[in-house]
Amino acid sequence: MNGCPPKRVRTSIVVVNYNGKSFLKNCIDSLTASEASQEEIIIVDNASIDESCAYIRKEFPHVKLLALDKNYGFAEANNRGVQSASGEYVIFLNNDTAVTPGWLTGLVNVMEADREIGVAGSKILLMHEPGKINSAGGAITFSGGGYDIGFMDNDSERYNIPGVRGCVCGAAMMVRRDEFLDFGGFDGNYFMYFEDVDLCWRYWLFGKKVVYVPASVVYHKFGGTSGKIRHAPLRVFYGTRNALLNIIKNYEARSIPFPLFFSFLHHLLKTLYFLLRLEGNLSMLMIKAYISFFRLIPEANTRRKEIQRRRKVSDEYLFDNSLIVSFAVVFKEFRRLFRI
């Protein structure tokens, strides 16, 4: 030992903001109170109209502000943040979060220890119910979506066990900058919802691991940006469309028919359900989601060709290791959520 300190790993923290001025102080103050205080903090603002940019410039001059000309959504705004980042590692962090001391160290240590790990996700607790889980990593569903493991469950030792996951929540996750860009980043067409599922799925296909890191704890004001209602319009439209895009982009050809057929049937029944409840606006959003999906198929197919060309892992491997979960597992989880 020569007494020299270990090499300091440079990280960039990318926070996308859209009319989230009320969240920013809590988020940035928590960062500066943690070991992230000396790291690069980038706020990517999606053309907010609540004076977020003026507030950041005045109150947080040490923060790098990337003010965009329009609302590009969560996916593309994060991509632009990564492009302007200088860190070896990049952390995606929601604007309605607050980090805890040690959260950054936990992620960095895991990534540094194993180059096969491509994505590391924090343990996310609910800000207003800190004894409950928001996300202990996630699972990819066979129908192209995903869900947070442990959502609304009481925090316990079972959620302090690190391990591989199908996906992790984009509200607090770390990647290597160069690898993220090489793998294509978030799909900008997604705008929001399931872009983190798509990204993690791609990492698995390209031979990298996605892991859950309970030593990194973050609090999240769940639904702070898009609302807490289960059938919020943004969730209905983007969740429906983007799950379909995940199916046609990421599965091997032989695996596509069943999840696609199941999705069509499920979405038809969901549309009828909304009609019976006299929620015609939601039924129309389901139809619009399909119209948008069909319009995006040519571009999705172009992306699919690149993904399939580079894939190193089979669908069978992902199912056998419960990285993509079956209908039975999904049904069991949604029964649990329905009882909450």
Residue ranges in 33-128 assigned as alpha helix (H): 52-59, 73-83, 103-113
Which residue is associated with the tokens 């990049």?
A: 90
For the chain, which residues make up each domain, given as ranges?
11-220, 233-339
310 three-state secondary structure: helix
Name the architecture of domain 11-220. Answer: Alpha-Beta Complex (3.90)
Distance CA 148, CA 144 (A): 14
Low-confidence ranges of the chain (pLDDT < 50): 1-8, 227
Q: For 299, phi and psi rounded to 5 degrees?
A: -70, -40
* Averaged pLDDT of the chain: 94
pLDDT at 6: 42
The Cα–Cα gap between 23 and 17 comes to 9
**Cβ 244 vs Cβ 260: under 8 Å:** yes
Pairing of strands 133-135, 117-126: antiparallel
CB 194 within 8 A of CB 239: yes
Distances (CA, A) of 51 to 46, 67, 120, 240: 12, 11, 33, 32
